[in-house]
Structure 1
């Protein structure tokens, strides 16, 4: 390593973000600088540490042993510096025009987004919100590459660099056409197994419903798989199929008059609705803010008994105040 009496913090920020994102392009976007500027910073870092630091691999830039050894201490140092500076220069929701990118299912849009967008725009009227369809197979990479700021979904994400906040539990119920000739309000397991079923794509994160049906011997009865929740009601209305869906969806589509709910004769674990963000060593005040306001906004959700985690704390505080 070359001796130097001064170290440019911006160079170290480039190093940390390239290490985390494995991409010059993504690091440049996060830092709001050009890609050539990131490349130039990397060349200076290579000279400073007398090491190539990164080389191209099948999944993006891969760190050298030297870079892997540097990362823990450099990222921790930057985190401490940013924590101190953040107290002086806070994120101001009222004046920001920041663009937030959220990943959600269409069910999340129907059931949760109205509460989220209302709270966000009340506190930050000039922000922009881009909502992207949830695809579980892409969630981790899109968070890591800074293509989205946050995601709301059901399945557990095992990667340790993803921060998950449990928002609420969402129970499941059965739904069918309002005029279904065989399904009562409380059908037996035999009656459920005798019917054909509609499910949604595993990309939406509700694959455990399909697994539970398979455990109950209903696998062969699943004959329609839909790409989204949006057309479940229309499909049930014109067929004799039935479906197991989150109660939030059932309440919405039942109100339209073409379908009705029924009690399930078996147990199924509720969906754990979770808010996901990327665990970066360099803090992002805008992402920290939107994560908190999303959790808080769901205290207004019409099913408070489902609420958990940060949202439950908000409900408890509201009850205490009242």
Structure 2
């Protein structure tokens, strides 16, 4: 096989992660025909189709799945060497950083991060990826995201962690709830109807405690995101468990009230995660350090 061009490796890895020629072109800042041409060259080199169009996107073939780990890791090592010897000037950089957040993180933390970063790096681009807790280890390892903010521990080897917030869970409900006043008993909690946010959001500690305690409740609604909850709660008698900071923000914006839970849920840490080896990159180091500073300065 002829020697493999580094640009072709980058197209292959990006296309494998994105599963879309359009998204791969956007991430590489090239045209779609350029990605298609590179894919054609890759197919000739490996004598394999590598990716097949399907309803779900560009599905990798068996050969593509076999070569992907080696090419991904090799590209990451090369990029790391190049980045470690490259200066980063935030004032003039147009680099794109990708940060995985829950929708709660978007509401509570993203404004702080932008307010801190944009004055010192006006031309950088920040892309927010909707967090899927079961995939973040892979996302960090493959470079799909530069960093992740979440409350669930990420135990993938080679991941750095820095706690940026301490939080606790509370209950949020309609201010004029017909059967619950300013104190929530366990009996009222069990008798009430509940809204629950899907576990993929990364907020599941309270749900784990409820399961461990054997508490049986009436779940009337399951939603994928937190952002719709204020509208739902002010027009219903549903209860929902939320982190205290965002519950307090919702309470300020809508006729809702925050009550303490009638059982003990341990406080939890919200942490920033990133791939350990990327710390040698000045750009990556700047990005993580400034997220930490943004949350600390506004806490």
TM-score by length of 1: 0.66
CA deviation after TM superposition for structure 1 residue 85, in Å: 8.1
CA, structure 1 residues 176+103, in 2 after alignment: closer, same or farther (shift >3 Å)?
Answer: same
Equivalent residue number for residue 286 of structure 1: 283
Q: Paired residue for 1:272, among 252, 269, 272?
A: 269
Q: Say yes or no: does 1:163 pair with 2:159.
A: yes
Instruction: Look up the SS of the partner of 2:119 in the other structure.
Output: helix
Deviations 1:40-94 (A, max 9, x none): xxxxxxxxxxxxxxxxxxxx99xxxxxxxxxxxxxxxx99999998786421111
Equivalent residue number for residue 297 of structure 1: 294
Q: How does 1:170-319 map to 2 (within 5 A)?
A: 170-214=167-211, 215-220=213-218, 222-280=219-277, 283-302=280-299
Q: Paired residue for 1:139, among 130, 135, 138?
A: 135
Instruction: Look up the SS of the partner of 1:123 in the other structure.
Output: coil
CA deviation after TM superposition for structure 1 residue 270, in Å: 2.5
CA, structure 1 residues 256+86, in 2 after alignment: closer, same or farther (shift >3 Å)?
Answer: closer
Q: CA RMSD in A?
A: 4.6
Instruction: Look up the SS of the partner of 1:249 in the other structure.
Output: helix
Distance 2:243 2:81 in 1: 43
Distance 1:143 1:80 in 2: 16
Moved more, 139-148 or 235-244: 139-148
Q: How does 1:112-151 map to 2 (within 5 A)?
A: 112-132=109-129, 134-137=130-133, 139-140=135-136, 143-144=139-140, 145-151=142-148
**How many residues were matched structurally?**
292
The gaps in structure 2 that reach 5 residues or longer are 1-5, 15-24, 31-58, 61-74
CA deviation after TM superposition for structure 1 residue 269, in Å: 2.1
Distance 2:138 2:232 in 1: 32
The gaps in structure 1 that reach 5 residues or longer are 1-8, 18-27, 34-59, 62-77, 303-322
* Larger gyration radius, structure 1 or structure 2: 1
Distance 1:191 1:225 in 2: 20
TM-score by length of 2: 0.71
Equivalent residue number for residue 108 of structure 1: 105
CA deviation after TM superposition for structure 1 residue 193, in Å: 1.2
